[in-house]
Amino acid sequence: MTNLLKETLEVLKKYGKSPKDVRWIGSRDGRYAITWKEFEKIANVEYDNGYGSQKVAMDLVVVGDDWWLERHEYDRSEWWEFKTLPKKKPDAKKFTKVLASQAGEIGWVTLAEINNNE
């Protein structure tokens, strides 16, 4: 069993964040939103994050200024995943291909691998 509030605090701490850095908590589409204080009151609950169906709302996000936590699930296990806004490099290269097949690959490749001839 996992406590959702404790899990959330641990993930925030791991990435150098605290409740003070949280702007809002809600649904990924922004249709639902509450403050950290409101979240604390309802998130101090135990759930089974192991095998079985996903228990915590799959669209739940914790949002900061340029980062967020989102729920992830794989093989019926669930957790928070920390995300930040991608940063474009000053020397970013243009690309013309987005499909593995355009580079003669079958899949699981990056933009760099697909566009290696440009």
Average pLDDT over residues 18-45: 97
Question: H or E segment at 25?
Answer: strand 24-27
Q: Which amino acid is at 52?
A: G
Q: What is the pLDDT of residue 117?
A: 59
Confidence at 40, pLDDT banded by 50, 70, 90: very high
Q: pLDDT tens-digit profile of 8-19?
A: 999 999 999 999
Q: pLDDT tens-digit profile of 41-93?
A: 999 999 988 777 788 999 999 999 999 999 998 877 899 999 999 999 999 99
